[in-house]
Amino acid sequence: MLGRQYQVASTRLHHSRHSLKDTSEVGPEDEEAYPLPRLSPLQKLTTDLCKDDKTIKDLVVGRRVGFYKVRGEIGFGTFSRVKLAFHALTKDKVALKILDRTRLDSHAQRLLSREISSMECLRHPNVVCLYEVVETPSRLFLVLEYAGGGDLHNRICTETKLSDVTCKITFAQILSAVKYMHNHNIIHRDLKAENVLLTSTGCVKVADFGFSTQISERSDALDTFCGSPQYAAPELFREECYLGPPVDVWAMGVVLFFMVTGTMPFRADTIGKLRRCVIECAYTVPPWVPGPCQRLIKGILKAAPDERYALDQMMGCNWLLPVEFPWSLVHPEPSSAQQSLLHLERGSMEEEVEEEVRATLEELGFSAEHLPDSQTKHSRSPVTGVYRILLHRAQKRRGCDCPPVVRGMVSDPKREGLSAYRGIKHTSKLCVLS
């Protein structure tokens, strides 16, 4: 069925670009005068998907999914497996999250729908990108950005704890991702070290939006217990309605504590004991943790949600003052002359990236009729998959996936400034945040 879908698009392209002469009228003597046109990569691939015996067999046994060549397993979950795959046209690596539709009850289907919906709304350097969704009668495949550097939990377990500089760089990126989500009214609700992926260059990718939810206002109350108990905020254990943003903030505090100490702040043999520790906020920060970091942890891990640091306060804390991001965090609407220049530069870069992507698509064999703007916004399309992969590749070449750096040292004053964005320096390199 997938092959037939792609063949229709490819045949339309073939006729629109190579209508030299009706081949039924061409005899052997005319072959030199009317040579058959060379197939584009897209045409060759779609022909193989429909006619090549080996390709068809790979589709049947699961070694291929649409335009993707499937390789070994790299992870698994309750309802899913994750495999490494390659796009047959672009050759880019992707992570293929495979779900057995026959095993998904109505609750699991709702979670999956939320996951896809949330990821469709998010385009940020520190959030895993959803390229495409492929459906078959028995399975559903989420084609995701491949991080390649493992997850934060495994790294901490391997290294015991992370250095102060590494913690700053990693946490700043998590903070940037969560602020972006909350600005789009999306609450993750399952932030934990296992869901923080790393690239080979040290860039953070927040993943797994299965428990995420979209709210209309910051004051919207939620009532579903989500996530891992070790990262759950006190209000979740009290089984009361809660606000989404403070729950994500609490989980970030637990992640930060885990990074700088190599241990969890709340540990117990049973869920009941863990519940009591969390509700009572019974934890101790080791004295060797730097003072500014201690104050940040204590500002986040507070029992009362309204007393926890807000994201802007966290961004302005002394511990993160030396962090310099390779992209801009300014509001998309310019409010000053400097921001107007940044806004214009970002627009220029967007046009440059779009032109590069369209040129590459044309080389692969995609025509203008394959690429209406509406089609490249819907994940259940093979054209969208190619478009988003090439778009992400172009953005990465312009520094979009570069981790922040730490410049110099800061003093350890007794009181931290808490103004929004005060200490975060920005360079002129901008990332396309659509």
* Identity of the amino acid at 298: K
Please answer whether residues 376 and 383 qualify as being in contact, where contact means their C-beta atoms are separated by less than 8 angstroms. yes
**Rg, C-alpha atoms of the chain:** 25
Rounded to an integer, what distance in angstroms lies between the CA atom of residue 379 and that of residue 135?
11
For residue 135, give the H/E element and its range: strand 130-135
Task: Show the beta-strand stretches assigned E in 291-338.
Answer: 323-325
The two three-digit tokens of residue 308, written as one number:
């926890």
Give 384's DSSP letter: H
Rounded to an integer, what distance in angstroms lies between the CA atom of residue 308 and that of residue 306?
6
Strand partners, 288: none
Nearest in space to 191 (alpha carbons), one of 172, 176, 219, 212: 212
Other CB atoms within a 10 A radius of the CB of residue 49 amount to 23
DSSP string, 296-362: HHHHHS-SSGGGSPPHHHHHTSGGGTTEEESS----SS--SHHHHHHHHHHHHHHHHHHHHHHHHHH
For residue 39, give the H/E element and its range: none
Catalytic-labelled residue, pool 48, 190, 208, 401: 190
* Strands 148-151 and 242-243, bridge-based pairing: unpaired
Give 327's DSSP letter: S
DSSP string, 404-433: PEE-S-----SS----TTTT-EE-S-----
Q: Is 97 annotated as a binding residue?
A: yes
Rounded to an integer, what distance in angstroms lies between the CA atom of residue 356 and that of residue 371?
14
Please answer whether residues 86 and 94 qualify as being in contact, where contact means their C-beta atoms are separated by less than 8 angstroms. yes
Q: Which ranges of 365-407 would DSSP assign to H, the alpha helix?
A: 382-397
Examine the residue annotation and report whether 48 is marked as an active-site residue of this protein: no
Query: Residue 390 — φ and ψ, nearest 5°?
Result: -65, -35
* Identity of the amino acid at 283: Y
Give 29's DSSP letter: G
Could you give the 3-state DSSP secondary structure of residue 91?
Answer: coil
Rounded to an integer, what distance in angstroms lies between the CA atom of residue 414 and that of residue 79?
49
Could you give the 3-state DSSP secondary structure of residue 149?
Answer: strand
- Give me the active site residues, please: 190
- In the annotated binding site for ATP, the residues are 97
- In the annotated binding site, the residues are 97
